[in-house]
Amino acid sequence: MTDLPPPPVKGCREAPVLREFGQREVFCGLTGIIWLHRKMQDAFFLVVGSRTCAHLLQSAAGVMIFAEPRFGTALLEEKDLAGLADANAELDREVDRLLARRPDIRQLFLVGSCPSEVIKLDLERAAERLNTRHAPKVRVASYTGAGTDTTFTQGEDTCLAALVPELDKTDARELVLVGALPDVVEDQALALLNAMGIGPVRSLPARRLEDMPAIGPNTVFALTQPFLGETHGQLIRRGARHIAAPFPFGEEGTTRWLRAIADEFGVPDDLFEKVTAAPRARARKAVAAHAEDLRGKSIFFLPDSQLEPALARFLTRECGMTAVEVGTPFLHRGIMGPDLDLLAEGPVLSEGQDVDRQLDRVRAARPDLTVCGLGLANPLEAEGLTTKWAIELVFSPVHFYEQAGDLASLFARPLNRKRLLKLEAA
């Protein structure tokens, strides 16, 4: 990898971290259902929650009128919340009705919410009870997406972490890619690994229950998303080993991520170069087309998705931006360390949220671009700041070489729009 830029003299892995413990302004973990239900094609996500939870899901996903949706809400009514009804019996009836009507469902997730936590409805026990009734045809699991416990990307983490203990055991040496990527993007990664002779490769989550990976002491895994801390811990508890690497965002991130896996499997340099040369060149060209709009601009990340350190690394090293502050809800050094090594010292690193204090710092810095949640974007735009919605970075395909240009363009677009508006106003 001689043609990759060297790491900075001093990276951010050991940099001091400003820890914030104040009010949070992010979506809850239920949001993950939007991309998880697309990925897991025989799964159904049953949120045990209130009308608020149902509205969040419907507005985030768009109401699917013609399709048979693969998520829904078992509504907790006032009598449930007041403890006047047996919510467990109602849940069992609801699940029986659903599974009788939908024989295509092979995996059912009971998803906890703020209301189910308030009435202390034990969904883990409910899943065990329902499993004895519906296994082996349907596997029932539970996880929490409650806003009190999870930020919007953590829903995927709690979901995958709930799956790991149930996965079969194996002694086979296999690579598992962990994180729900759009199928077309996952296929690109599988094709590159396959061309290097690396395999068998499995995915967690798999598209269907029968393709879920088995885990054991010879399993090695690579994360495709940085927000999978709990899943990472569960896999290690099952004896699997993590291949630490920068995340596959941009040309450099993808090359270093692939190289770490290639090294694990003893892929020779010349084969690695042969497989990656053409897509790398395409990625470099695609990023360069947008980097001109980003070069020299400053960026401030409010803590939303846990993608922030990896994206800051991409934007500073491949697009010439300057990071003012890199906030992230949780800073997991075992997972984010390789990206922090490549992020040159300078930006404030912050973990957790205290929205008022962070907004004060944004206003003082007046960055060219602020990455933040939907709720903060409009007020900041009204103050003349340019913003990017963090959630878009999770909903859009942004991984690996073929999406590197799109990733850069997601950041360039708001800056270009601002420039055009200024030109029109002049």
Q: Is 53 in the site for ligand SF4 (CB under 6 A)?
A: yes
3-state secondary structure of 109: strand
Q: Write out the DSSP string of 178-226.
A: ES---HHHHHHHHHHHHHTT---EEEES-SSGGGPPPB-TTEEEEESST
| Cβ-based nearer residue to ligand SF4, 11 or 145 | 145
Provide the residue count of the chain.
426
Stretch of 70-78, 141-149, 243-251, 351-359 lying at the interface with ligand SF4 (CB under 6 A): 141-149
Write down the least CB distance from residue 134 to ligand SF4, Å: 25
Is 53 labelled as part of a ligand binding site? yes
Of 387-406, which residues contact ligand SF4 (CB under 6 A)?
none
Q: Is 56 in the site for ligand SF4 (CB under 6 A)?
A: yes
Is 372 labelled as part of a ligand binding site? no
For ligand SF4, which residue has the nearest CB?
147
- Which candidate, 208, 224, 217, places its Cα nearest to that of 153? 224
Q: Is 87 in the site for ligand SF4 (CB under 6 A)?
A: no
Q: Is 58 in the site for ligand SF4 (CB under 6 A)?
A: no
What are 170-173's contacts with CB under 8 Å, separation 24+? Answer: 170/214, 170/215, 170/216, 170/218, 170/219, 171/216, 171/217, 171/218, 172/200, 172/214, 172/216, 172/218, 172/219, 173/218, 173/219, 173/220
Q: Is 329 in the site for ligand SF4 (CB under 6 A)?
A: no
CB 126 within 8 A of CB 143: no
| Cβ-based nearer residue to ligand SF4, 118 or 184 | 118
Work out which of 73, 113, 254, 353 binds ligand SF4, going by CB under 6 A. 113
Residue with tokens 């003299």: 9
Q: Is 153 in the site for ligand SF4 (CB under 6 A)?
A: no
Contacts of 272 (CB under 8 A, 6+ apart): 196, 258, 259, 262
Q: Is 178 in the site for ligand SF4 (CB under 6 A)?
A: no
| Cβ-based nearer residue to ligand SF4, 150 or 276 | 150
Of 15-34, which residues contact ligand SF4 (CB under 6 A)?
28, 30
DSSP state letter for 169:
B
Is 114 labelled as part of a ligand binding site? yes
| Cβ-based nearer residue to ligand SF4, 114 or 311 | 114
| Cβ-based nearer residue to ligand SF4, 24 or 280 | 24
Q: Which backbone phi and psi does 173 adopt, to 5 degrees?
A: -85, 105
From the centroid of its chain, how far is CA 355?
22
Q: Is 142 in the site for ligand SF4 (CB under 6 A)?
A: no
CB 46 within 8 A of CB 111: yes
| Cβ-based nearer residue to ligand SF4, 52 or 131 | 52
Annotated binding-site positions for [4Fe-4S] cluster? 28, 53, 114
Binding site for ligand SF4 (CB under 6 A): 28, 30, 49-50, 52-53, 56, 113-114, 145-147
Annotated binding-site positions? 28, 53, 114
